[in-house]
Amino acid sequence: MRQSHLFYLAFLTTTVVCVPIKTRLEARIENGLASTPPMGWNSYNHYSCHPNETIIKSNAKALVDLGLDKLGYRYVTTDCGWTVADRLTNGSLTWDETLFPNGMPALGDYIHGLGLLFGVYEDAGIETCGTGIPQAGSLYHEQLDAETFAAWGADALKYDNCYSDAATGYPNVAYQPSTSPSARYQNMTNALSNLNREILFQICEWGVDFPALWAPNLGNSWRIGNDISQNWQSVFRIINQAATQTSFAGPGQWPDLDMLEVGNDIFTTPEEQTHFSLWAILKSPLVIGGALKDTYTSISQASLGVLNQPDVIGYNQDPLGKSANLVRRWSDDEYDVWSGPLSENRTVVALVNWAHTARTLQLDLSDVGIQYAATVKNIWAGSEAASVKTSYSASVEPHGTILLEIKGTSPAGYYATDIFATSTNVETIFSDIYAVTDSGEFLLVIDFTQPPSEGSQIDIQVSPSGYSTTIDVPSGSSQASTNISLSAGANNNITISTTGVSSIKITNPPGAYYPSTSFARTGSAILTECGQGYCQPVGSKISYLEPSSSATITIPAKTAGSKYILLDVINNDITYSSTLTNSRNITISVNGGSPVRLEAPLTGRHSELFGPGDGWWDPSTFGVLVPGWEAGNNSVNIGNQGGEGDLQTYAADFVGLRVLD
């Protein structure tokens, strides 16, 4: 669909006249379907493949009674279990008359009568997913089924991926079909594009074959991974798979993290807040999977208070349509920082507390590209802070999230005098200066309000590093610069022996890169050359690092302390299990000190499944702060320390690292 959309834009803005092939698809996009992530309710998470007319109607009505429709939840979708084993003699699909005595068209009328939208479910295989009772799938019947759904008044189609190779034995239990799902989904896209009705197309291919590369062209949303399961761990598993697909989100094409479990009494309220916050800021469709109202159940006020939080819904529906990204993972400290841009120069940030304990977490604003914020609104705490410099701290419940909307910002590394400094008659003292690493090679640029009329010398003193230097400022210059020494953290002060300073800018040291090819290896570790253009920027990687093996190197450092390390690592260990997490650990230790662990999410933008090599050749970069460096030579060890026992034996593969020294 996106291709058609782009084509349409090209058509408008150039004089080249061509006939677009997928006319209807363009019309659907131009009609505004899913310009923001779709929102609604779906039967599966609560009722599994056992929906019926009563259930769907009572939940649809509850959407309206609870005011959720007004907040955007409008698609009501009956998931698996609605149809029967066989088609009608004329080939059309039909409904289970016991469960849906009035039939699907009547259900659609009821839903439309409530001012809601009617979602249907089918499968790109021989049978639908289900509970052992065969039900007809849409494979090879795409056009007829699309027409049937249109005739029933459907507004959305969730299209699943069971039984793609054979009708029995659930062939894809390993989620490894013999061919990529893309061609089967393409056929339904084509069928929908021939209709005289706009139907939202929700691709549910379970994340098979790195869907972000193909599904955005075929549907309005695609599943980034396998189903959410009814355990807390599945939130971590899902976002570890979403992490590498976030940049593909945009109007008309949304990464689907799966339906929400909010309201199903699986998660605590802080866990529900984390789940909802992440789904919202990663621009997933927000599809309620809890029972809002039926004979036995009414959603709790606490869960409703999560689902109807207007700011969080606003981040999901923001017109900018850009997803948040994982910007920093503190694996040993058990928290993540996710952040992304919103419209009107706002930034949304989630600090996710993976720990089982309540605590206070600190956000270093520069991790999200910010130095100063006029306001920081803490959504779940219901508080707001003003004039926030450099860092922000707040308390968070076990498994909870500090969700922040940040406004009125200045960029990381920029310190305006009127915000960050106090002046005496003779000097300007900046405080709250942040450093990502211990280094003597931060570039300091000083901007003067008035160029000195004659050449002068100014002294610069830095605490707590104790560094000092003197620089010559030639007459008439409005800027001066020098390297300075800063200490990792948010508490550096810089004193400049003049009053006419308007601002300072600080740039991180570039550091030095150490490719995996320069490391020695022990035990099982092997160096592999990757296919051309892969394992960038090195072209090779070290794999099979385990607790008893390592990759080592001697690295000279100019100063002692804690160094920020950018690790280029590869993890294509995709799981479809409900207990694994799509992650691989990798550790780095210096001079025999305690290892610092990164639990890497999936990396890169390829699938191993239908492109052997590609997935395991495709790195991403993650930053970690590693203590224990000496001035002079350092012995650096990469491995999987602590990975014994039940844990994954192998580390993420290692491509290289940059040391910000």
Ligand X SMILES: *[C@@H]1O[C@H](CO)[C@@H](O)[C@H](O)[C@H]1NC(C)=O
User: How many residues form the binding site for ligand X (CB under 6 A)?
Assistant: 38
513-532 residues near ligand X, rule: CB under 6 A: none
Specify the residue, 491 or 536, whose C-beta has the smaller distance to ligand X. Answer: 491
Would you state the torsion angle of the CA atoms of residues 445, 387, 406, 358, taken in this order, to the nearest 10 degrees? Answer: 110
Any contact of residue 183 with ligand X (CB under 6 A)? Answer: yes
* Residue window 106-145: x/- pattern of binding to ligand X, with contact defined by CB under 6 A: ----------------------------------------
CB 139 → ligand X: shortest distance, Å? 6
Q: Which stretch binds ligand X (CB under 6 A): 154-162, 382-390, 393-401, 582-590?
A: 582-590
Specify the residue, 320 or 381, whose C-beta has the smaller distance to ligand X. Answer: 320
- How does DSSP assign 629-655, residue by residue? E-SEEEEEEEE-TT--TTS-SSPPEEE
Q: Which phi and psi (to 5°) does residue 64 adopt?
A: -75, -45
Q: Active site includes 573? A: no
- Pick one of 268, 378, 540, 648: the residue that binds ligand X (CB under 6 A): 648
Cβ atoms of 223 and 175 within 8 Å: the answer is no
Specify the residue, 188 or 655, whose C-beta has the smaller distance to ligand X. Answer: 188
CA distance 583 to 116: 39
* Residue window 545-574: x/- pattern of binding to ligand X, with contact defined by CB under 6 A: ---------x-x------------------
Pick from 25, 36, 23: nearest CA to 1: 25
Any contact of residue 234 with ligand X (CB under 6 A)? Answer: no
Coil/strand/helix, residue 166:
coil
Cβ atoms of 601 and 241 within 8 Å: the answer is yes
CA distance 101 to 649: 54
Q: Which stretch binds ligand X (CB under 6 A): 1-9, 84-92, 201-209, 305-313?
A: 84-92
Specify the residue, 450 or 554, whose C-beta has the smaller distance to ligand X. Answer: 554
Tokens representing residue 430 in the block: 């900046």
Any contact of residue 99 with ligand X (CB under 6 A)? Answer: yes
- Pick one of 79, 261, 438, 599: the residue that binds ligand X (CB under 6 A): 599
In the set 227, 256, 364, 573, the catalytic residue is: 227
Residue 340: in which H helix or E strand, if any?
strand 335-342
Q: Which stretch binds ligand X (CB under 6 A): 209-217, 297-305, 396-404, 577-585?
A: 577-585
* Residue window 476-515: x/- pattern of binding to ligand X, with contact defined by CB under 6 A: -------x-------x-x---------------xx-----
Distances (CA, A) of 219 to 199, 229, 349, 609: 10, 24, 28, 22
Cβ atoms of 401 and 281 within 8 Å: the answer is no
Any contact of residue 631 with ligand X (CB under 6 A)? Answer: no
CA distance 621 to 334: 19
CB 482 → ligand X: shortest distance, Å? 8
Cβ atoms of 638 and 516 within 8 Å: the answer is no
Specify the residue, 11 or 407, whose C-beta has the smaller distance to ligand X. Answer: 407
Specify the residue, 128 or 187, whose C-beta has the smaller distance to ligand X. Answer: 187
54-73 residues near ligand X, rule: CB under 6 A: 54-55
Any contact of residue 594 with ligand X (CB under 6 A)? Answer: no
CA distance 345 to 360: 27
Cβ atoms of 229 and 60 within 8 Å: the answer is no
Question: Max CA-CA distance within the chain?
Answer: 96
CB 307 → ligand X: shortest distance, Å? 21
Any contact of residue 91 with ligand X (CB under 6 A)? Answer: yes
Any contact of residue 443 with ligand X (CB under 6 A)? Answer: yes
Residue type, 51: P
* Residue window 416-435: x/- pattern of binding to ligand X, with contact defined by CB under 6 A: ---------------x----
CA distance 63 to 288: 10
Q: Which phi and psi (to 5°) does residue 419 adopt?
A: -100, -45
Residue type, 200: L
CB 495 → ligand X: shortest distance, Å? 9
Pick from 506, 544, 512, 513: nearest CA to 526: 544
Any contact of residue 358 with ligand X (CB under 6 A)? Answer: no
Tokens 């000195």 belong to residue: 452
Specify the residue, 451 or 464, whose C-beta has the smaller distance to ligand X. Answer: 464
CA distance 497 to 513: 36
Any contact of residue 345 with ligand X (CB under 6 A)? Answer: yes
Any contact of residue 92 with ligand X (CB under 6 A)? Answer: yes
CA distance 213 to 420: 44
Q: Active site includes 160? A: yes
Q: Which stretch binds ligand X (CB under 6 A): 25-33, 50-58, 107-115, 517-525?
A: 50-58
Q: Which residues contact 210 (CB under 8 A, 6 or more apart)?
A: 245, 605, 606, 607, 615
Any contact of residue 584 with ligand X (CB under 6 A)? Answer: yes
CB 54 → ligand X: shortest distance, Å? 5
In the set 160, 364, 367, 618, the catalytic residue is: 160
**What is the torsional sign of CA 289, 294, 295, 297?**
positive
Give the catalytic positions in this structure.
160, 227
Residues found near ligand X in the complex (CB under 6 A)? 52, 54-55, 88, 90-92, 99, 183-184, 187, 294-295, 344-345, 431, 441, 443, 463-464, 483, 491, 493, 509-510, 554, 556, 581, 583-585, 599, 632-633, 642-643, 647-648
